[in-house]
Amino acid sequence: MHTIWYWLPYCMRIWFYTLIGNYMEEELITMDYDCGFSNDNKWFRYRAAAIIVEEGCVLFAGNEIDNYYYSIGGAVHIGETAEDAVKREVLEETGVAYEIDRLAVIHENFFTENQGSLKGMDCHEIAMYFLMKPRGTKELQSDSYTQGVKENMYWLPISELDKYRAFPTFMKEYLQKEHSGVEHIVSNETKKATKR
């Protein structure tokens, strides 16, 4: 009988627990679940990410499994704002509480993953990229892990970003210019990134 609860849709379980006043499953009620889903060979995620620039370098993460660098950030939790998510993710990954300057980019990203747990899946990610206020130092207190693998932080020189396999790829061009508003960028692995 207990397994029937795992067959009920997530929202129905929350409604049921709220209706009867059973708050014993605290994690269920606080909704620390990522905004995303997978279905068959498709995967979707709503993500918040940071653009952190210090002394002519931009901060990226990397690990021993993946052969590329990736932006600082992660999935927005259900019930969490993108601003709160990016502050949480930056603190988790860098050990430093950066402040948000402004929303810089809304990125729609379509790609097929070729490694890791998403290998072979058609992926669709919507990410809010926030420019963070510089602190005047590259010093971090990182002790971050992703899927059980230690993450390392890398300050990549903006002027040499094209020499690195770093994602999102729009970052190379974006950081070469000054920006004042929010940009909408759509990337597709079969097409060049387009600004709208």
How do strand 149-157 and strand 145-146 relate by DSSP bridges? antiparallel
* 3 state DSSP class of 94: helix
Across the chain, which distance is largest between two alpha carbons, in Å? 61
Is-contact 176 80, C-beta < 8 A? no
User: Who contacts 148 (Cβ-Cβ below 8 Å, separation ≥6)?
Assistant: none
Residue that has been written with the tokens 């990337």 in this structure: 187
Q: What DSSP state is assigned to residue 182? A: -
CA angle 101, 103, 108 (to 5 degrees): 150
Pick the CATH number of 33-195 from 3.40.50.300, 3.90.79.10, 3.90.1150.50, 3.60.20.10: 3.90.79.10
* pTM recorded for the entire structure: 0.79
Q: What is the pLDDT of residues 128-176, one digit of tens each?
A: 999 999 999 999 988 777 777 788 999 999 999 999 999 999 999 999 9
CATH 3.90.79.10 region(s) of the chain?
33-195
Q: What is the pLDDT of residues 53-97, one digit of tens each?
A: 999 999 999 988 888 999 999 999 999 999 999 999 999 999 999
Closest CA to 123 of 45, 15, 62: 45
Give the dihedral sign, CA 176/177/180/185: negative
> 3-state SS string over 167-181?
ECCHHHHHCCCCCCC
> In the predicted model, what is the mean pLDDT of the chain?
83
